Amino acid sequence: MPERKDMVRSYVERGNEWLQKDRLDLAAADFAIAIELDPKCAEAYHNRGIAHAAGGDRDAAIADFTKAIAIRSDVSQPYLGRGLLRLGKGDFDGAIMDFEASIAIVPKLRQSLCSQLAQAYFNRAVDRQSSGDREAAFRDYSAAIGAGTGSSKHCVESGIRNFLAAAYNNRGNLWTDQGMFEEAVADFSRALELNASLPEAYQNRAAVRARKGDMDGAIADSSRAIQVEPQLAAAYQTRGGALYAKGDLEGALSDFNRAIQLQPRSPGAYVNRGIIRLVQGNHGDGLKDLDYALELNPRLGPAVDTLLRTTRLPKEHKAIIELWSKRRSGGSGR
């Protein structure tokens, strides 16, 4: 009888041949015999994992890759295979761990894995941001950007430009939350270099520019956002605020009207439209807008009071404030 080692090798090689012919069931059967003959045969576990993965049984494939890693932790392929499956299952922690382990064994893999690694970091960042862990999300967005752009130009040119643009855009929002406006504008700009049709990046940069006092820049960016996505209500609100700041009341009113059409329950748009109507002397409709804004969000009361007391209104300024206060205490609707 041939030695057991030779028999194991024969079954592994025949299993590999079945794999090449896409006979997954026969391949898995031969690898199983090899494993039965030699339970320490990492190659048989790994290759059976490939057969399971190709057949759609991701859990069985992950189990085989895990067994192969337990036997030979110095081989990169099982980590890579398991990482790809974990990424597909939404196990971003596991995918990142596996990709990084594979790269640690074969550093050159970082270049070919840039897209998958960036995706894993990005998706984990989104999850972390949704759960409120913004610091961890920021680190992961940065890691996604680094994975997608730091290894080679090929990564940026191989179909993940839009993906990286989303990472820059989301990190820009986190910069904005920290009051780091220059950094935010830089990230939004980089996002638009990668994807010039990303309306959120134009809108986000417009909002930051408005906060910095660059109303012309805000108008230009929000207009571009509207051109790309005419249904983006936030862009109309941002442009409306910038036009109001520049004294274009009619243009601002038109934008807030459109924002309300698109998002009829957006309290901020009603506040802004209400203020403009008061400035124009349309007290009845202006107060109705403020009333409805507070109906949507009662906590806006102090902010609206401040706006009324700091906005240049006609001579009836004090009477308007008093009337609105009475309407609030009386509890009226639209």
**What 3 state SS string does 63-83 have?**
HHHHHHHHHCCCCHHHHHHHH
Distance CA(230)–CA(301), nearest Å, equals 31
For 5, 107, 109, 120, 157, the CA distances from 152, given in Å and listed in that order, are 43, 13, 12, 18, 9
> Is pLDDT at 154 greater than 60 in this prediction?
no
d(CA 333, CA 274): 14
pLDDT digits (tens, 9 = 90+) for 115-151: 899 999 999 999 999 999 999 999 999 999 998 886 5
pLDDT digits (tens, 9 = 90+) for 262-274: 999 999 999 999 9
- With 0-12 / 13-18 / 19 or more C-beta atoms within 10 angstroms meaning exposed / middle / buried, residue 46 is buried
Q: How far from 244 is each of 23, 135, 268, 278, 309, CA to CA, in Å?
A: 69, 35, 14, 13, 17
Encode burial over 102-116: b for 16+ CB neighbours within 10 A, e otherwise: bbeeeeebbebbbbb
Q: What is the mean pLDDT of residues 56-63?
A: 96
Q: What percent of the chain has pLDDT over 70?
A: 93
* Sole residue written with tokens 């807008």: 289
Write down the pLDDT at residue 161. 86
Distances (CA, A) of 17 to 51, 70, 104: 12, 25, 30
DSSP at 311 = S
Q: What does the alpha-carbon distance between residue 35 and residue 169 come to, in Å, rounded to a whole number?
A: 49
- Name which of 221, 261, 263 is nearest 241 in CA terms: 221
Q: At what angle do helices 215-228 and 199-211 cross, to 10 degrees?
A: 160
pLDDT at 66: 97
Q: What is the mean pLDDT of the chain?
A: 91
pLDDT of residue 159: 63
* Confidence check: pLDDT of 324 > 80: no
Q: How far out from the chain centre does Cα 287 lie?
A: 38
DSSP state letter for 114: H
**Non-local CB neighbours of 24 within 8 Å, separated by 6+ positions:** 18, 51, 54, 55
pTM of the model: 0.84
The candidate with the shortest Cα–Cα distance to 65, out of 81, 89, 41, 53, is: 81
pLDDT of 1: 47
Contact between 125 and 141 under an 8 Å Cβ cutoff? The reply is yes
Measure Cα distances from 258 to 39, 123, 150, 264, 307 in Å: 69, 33, 42, 10, 22
* Mean of pLDDT values over 58-69: 97
Count CB atoms within 10 A of the CB of residue 206.
30
**pLDDT category of residue 283 using cuts at 50, 70 and 90:** confident
Question: In the predicted model, is pLDDT for residue 156 greater than 60?
Answer: no
Strand spans (E) along the chain: none
- Within its chain, how far is the Cα of 190 from the centroid? 15
Residue partners of 144: CB distance under 8 A and separation at least 6: 117, 118, 119, 121, 122, 125, 164, 167
